[in-house]
Structure 1
Amino acid sequence: MQIVKSLSVLPPSPLYNLLFIPKLPFFSSFSSLANTVEAPNPALFHYLMETLKFSKTQALLISTRYSHIKSMEKPQSVFCFFQNLGFSNSHIQSAILLTPQILFANIEKSLKPKIKLFQDIGLVGCDLGKFISKNSPLLTASLKEKLVPRIEILKKLLLNDEKNEDLVKVIRRCNWLISKNPESRLLSNITYLKSCGIVGSQLSMLLKRQPRLFVMQESRLRDLVSRVLNMGFSINSRMLVHALYTVSCLSDETFERKFGILKSYGFSEYECIEMFRKAPGLLRTSKEKLKLGIDFFLNVVKFKKEVLLHNPTYLMHSMEERVIPRYKVLEIMKSKKIFKKEPSFINVLHLTEEEFLQKFISRFPDDALELLIVYKGNILDSSS
């Protein structure tokens, strides 16, 4: 204990701080030291600065960690290897800052097989460079024991993904490939979700949209499901997966803020929950769009509140591209007394784009140009 106390009063050594930096590159806090500490590996230090264009601080930190490296042959080969793959200099720099040890990896035995694995699932050129720049620890993971088995598990979960497009999205959005012992957690969470009736395409959808659900602690996943069940969703309901996706996307504060917006327009707590049950995606709508939609339907279209209560999906339509333009077209047609019988705006909202254009613009050639301008919001040149 006395030794510890005496050590604690010793003046801090800049070199000590450099030697005991964390693996993640928190470079900014050491910038002042870079001007006072001599690089223990001048060759690597200058290579990092001159070839890879690292700052003096970054080069000093890496060269300090690898003071035993004398030859620059391997770092130069790795740099050229990445360049030949189509990586930009910023991609290479970011990858090395995150995982400096890849500079000294064996290209043939270590880097090439792993890069080929990612190329085979569809990551090539600039896309591959961008991916590796943010996930370079993958290049230090075991190919046979971690990367290949884990990718195979993901493939089985993603149904009908012959082109691996969904697989690439999942891998980009989740650090599951480099997590510690994720297989047991993944399989445990899958088993639990299946027990809730989330299977097949629903399970695949959830993995694509929110892969982090599959790597979180099962206790946390159970808490999210319990929260959804407490709001009236039931096990084996097809809406359960959509509700789970929504609550996993939003913090508790954001969730309550969205409810607060609904309440500010006169909806009760019970009615807010009812709207969420009918359209779980409603709360993923931005607060600006939510306010615009409620205000427009209640104050411009003059819907009764009950209409939105029973049909909350109306608030999920694009206001700028669908709701407001269609309303303006109907208002023009009313003013021109084109209708023999005025259509319901609710029915108009349900029409596809093609159906709307056919029924409310193409059918009236004398007014079609004016109506199209109103609908598309374009001012056409008079000469054209």
Structure 2
Amino acid sequence: MAFVSAARVALHNVLHLHGQVRLLRLTYRKASLHGVCISHVRCLASTKNGPSIGNSLHNDTTCNTDKMTPDQSPTSMEPPGIRHVEETEADSTNSMPSANVSQALNRRFGMENLDHLHLEQTSSDGTDSDSDDEIKSSWTFEEENKSVELSNADLDRTNLRQISQHVVEPQYHLAAYVSESETLSQLVRLGVDLTQLQRVKGAADMIIKLDFETQVKPYLLFLHDIGVTDSHLGNYISKNPNIFNEDLEDLRVRINYLESKKFSKESIARIVSKAHVFILMPVKMVDAKLGYLQQEYRLTGNEVRAVITRLPKLATWNLQKLKDNRFYIKEFLGFSDAELKQMLVKYPKLFLTSKHDLGRKFDYLYNTMEMSHNTLVEWPQVFRCRLHIIKQRHQFLLSVDRAQYNPTKENYVSLHALVTGYDLAFCENVAKASVIQYNNFLKSI
């Protein structure tokens, strides 16, 4: 029992000492960062000729022993709180420098920081919440003057952790390194837009580490060989810097696949130039997209090549979205399989339009303007026109009695003539009215 009691007393003294050191360390750090006089902190941190830091604090501040409560006695099982030490020092008449430092820190940081530190120092059972490893790495003693000091590395680490919880990483632009990097300077000469390139996640850190001769130039020669013109190389790299992350042999395999499907060199050049990520897609994925288009729409080989060449982005689009749009156009808008094929060949971009826009425009064209499915199939580009333009011009044609969309009757107005061209051409060729009359009509609606 005597050994257990002695161990508890020793543990209490260690915890008490550690609590005082943590307080002094925080005070010293804040004072160093914000210009508070270091000599005032030294008054608090001095440990000369004293059995412990806690006792030296009471000796320096000449605190009266009759002010100490029973739970602060050396034999008490509960370690004294940091708040009590601060209040005791503030009450002493000889502790004015310490009080001034404390007030300055309180005005700078607020007392809630010290309260938070107190909660971290001790737990509910009176034991220290920090591990021994954390204690050893957070502070050291300087043997020469017995004062609490922090190393530069520890000071930086603890300041970032305790004072500034939100660390903002520095922001930079690649343009600042053009003069120092041969790769960047060569890319700029090719017309690469570094601002656009930097928007691609991870591209800035990746490309600044590349060697131009061995890691960049082979890709530029590859793009040139497959038909990307010199004038388009800069724009291509700006939008697709991730090509440098691909193996050059894999890129050649993907081009060989297109050649095996009898795509012409001109078609391959257009596909790679217009759909920048096309060349990043595995052959298996490209084959699945082309197979889906051919089977679902009953296309011939020439029709597949024509559709992909006209709109290369169709092959890079999400396959599930393509399926959803086809289902919506067929089941909800009422187009047949043959009409779907006809619209795909004529205007493949229709199948990249959102279902919401398709539904709104079809409702107005079909129900209000009384357009048939056959008429819409003849010029499916109307689904990519702005709905308010369609409404304004249709209502104006109604006002001048020229809203006639039946091709078998006189004064037929095609969808192409309705929505294309400037207002002047529309008024003169379709509405047979003046632009002033059309503008006045727009003001009245």
> TM-score, normalization: structure 2?
0.53
Deviations 1:157-191 (CA, angstroms, capped at 9, x unpaired)? 455553xxx3334223334433142x212222122
Once superposed, what is the RMSD of the aligned Cα atoms?
A: 4.1
CA distance in 1, matches of 2:268, 2:392: 37
Q: Which residue of 2 aligns with 1:21?
A: none
* 2:394 corresponds to which of 327, 333, 357: 327
CA distance in 1, matches of 2:172, 2:264: 38
* 1:255 corresponds to which of 305, 322, 326: 322
Q: Which residue of 2 aligns with 1:42?
A: 153
Cα offset for 1:283? 0.8
Query: Could you tell me whether the CA contact under 8 Å between 1:224 and 1:247 is conserved in 2?
Result: yes
Q: Which residue of 1 aligns with 2:285?
A: 220
Q: Is 1:300 aligned to residue 411 of structure 2?
A: no
Instruction: List alignment gaps of at least 5 residues for structure 2.
Output: 1-133, 139-149
Query: Could you tell me whether the CA contact under 8 Å between 2:277 and 2:316 is conserved in 1?
Result: no
Q: Is 1:90 aligned to residue 157 of structure 2?
A: no
Q: Which residue of 2 aligns with 1:285?
A: 353
Q: Which residue of 2 aligns with 1:171?
A: 237
Q: Give, as a single letter, the amino acid of the residue that structure 2 aligns with 1:332.
A: S
CA distance in 2, matches of 1:201, 1:373: 49
Cα offset for 1:120? 0.7
Query: Could you tell me whether the CA contact under 8 Å between 2:333 and 2:359 is conserved in 1?
Result: no
Query: Could you tell me whether the CA contact under 8 Å between 2:361 and 2:387 is conserved in 1?
Result: yes
CA distance in 2, matches of 1:155, 1:215: 17
* 2:217 corresponds to which of 139, 148, 158: 148
CA distance in 1, matches of 2:311, 2:216: 31
Query: Could you tell me whether the CA contact under 8 Å between 2:358 and 2:383 is conserved in 1?
Result: yes
CA distance in 1, matches of 2:220, 2:315: 27
Q: Give, as a single letter, the amino acid of the residue that structure 1 aligns with 2:182.
A: P
Cα offset for 1:346? 3.2
Cα offset for 1:141? 2.0
* 1:211 corresponds to which of 273, 276, 298: 276
CA distance in 1, matches of 2:166, 2:379: 60
Query: Could you tell me whether the CA contact under 8 Å between 1:297 and 1:303 is conserved in 2?
Result: yes
* 1:136 corresponds to which of 205, 223, 238: 205
Q: Give, as a single letter, the amino acid of the residue that structure 2 aligns with 1:359.
A: N
Cα offset for 1:145? 1.3
CA distance in 1, matches of 2:246, 2:154: 35
CA distance in 1, matches of 2:178, 2:362: 58
Aligned runs of 1:1-384 on 2, under 5 Å? 42=153, 90-92=171-173, 111-123=180-192, 126=195, 134-162=203-231, 166-181=232-247, 183-230=248-295, 231-237=297-303, 238-242=306-310, 245-252=313-320, 254-262=321-329, 263-269=331-337, 271-321=339-389, 323-334=390-401, 342-346=411-415, 348-349=417-418, 352-353=421-422, 355-360=425-430, 364-365=433-434, 368-374=435-441, 377=442
Query: Could you tell me whether the CA contact under 8 Å between 2:196 and 2:238 is conserved in 1?
Result: no
Query: Could you tell me whether the CA contact under 8 Å between 2:347 and 2:380 is conserved in 1?
Result: yes
Cα offset for 1:128? 6.5
Cα offset for 1:216? 2.0
CA distance in 2, matches of 1:198, 1:120: 32
Distance 1:120 1:276, change over 3 A: same
Identity %: 13
Query: Could you tell me whether the CA contact under 8 Å between 2:427 and 2:433 is conserved in 1?
Result: no
Distance 1:139 1:45, change over 3 A: farther
Query: Could you tell me whether the CA contact under 8 Å between 2:366 and 2:372 is conserved in 1?
Result: yes
CA distance in 1, matches of 2:155, 2:288: 50
Larger radius of gyration: 2
Cα offset for 1:130? 5.2
CA distance in 1, matches of 2:317, 2:273: 13
Cα offset for 1:319? 2.8
CA distance in 1, matches of 2:350, 2:251: 28
State which drifts further: 289-298 or 238-247: 238-247
CA distance in 1, matches of 2:388, 2:151: 61
Query: Could you tell me whether the CA contact under 8 Å between 2:203 and 2:242 is conserved in 1?
Result: no
Distance 1:245 1:125, change over 3 A: closer
Query: Could you tell me whether the CA contact under 8 Å between 2:272 and 2:279 is conserved in 1?
Result: yes
Distance 1:146 1:379, change over 3 A: farther
CA distance in 1, matches of 2:369, 2:420: 17
Cα offset for 1:297? 1.3
Query: Could you tell me whether the CA contact under 8 Å between 1:185 and 1:214 is conserved in 2?
Result: no
Distance 1:129 1:331, change over 3 A: same
Query: Could you tell me whether the CA contact under 8 Å between 1:138 and 1:177 is conserved in 2?
Result: no
Query: Could you tell me whether the CA contact under 8 Å between 2:294 and 2:300 is conserved in 1?
Result: yes
Cα offset for 1:147? 0.8
Aligned residues: 284
> TM-score, normalization: structure 1?
0.60
Distance 1:129 1:211, change over 3 A: closer
Q: Which residue of 2 aligns with 1:30?
A: none
Q: Give, as a single letter, the amino acid of the residue that structure 2 aligns with 1:331.
A: L
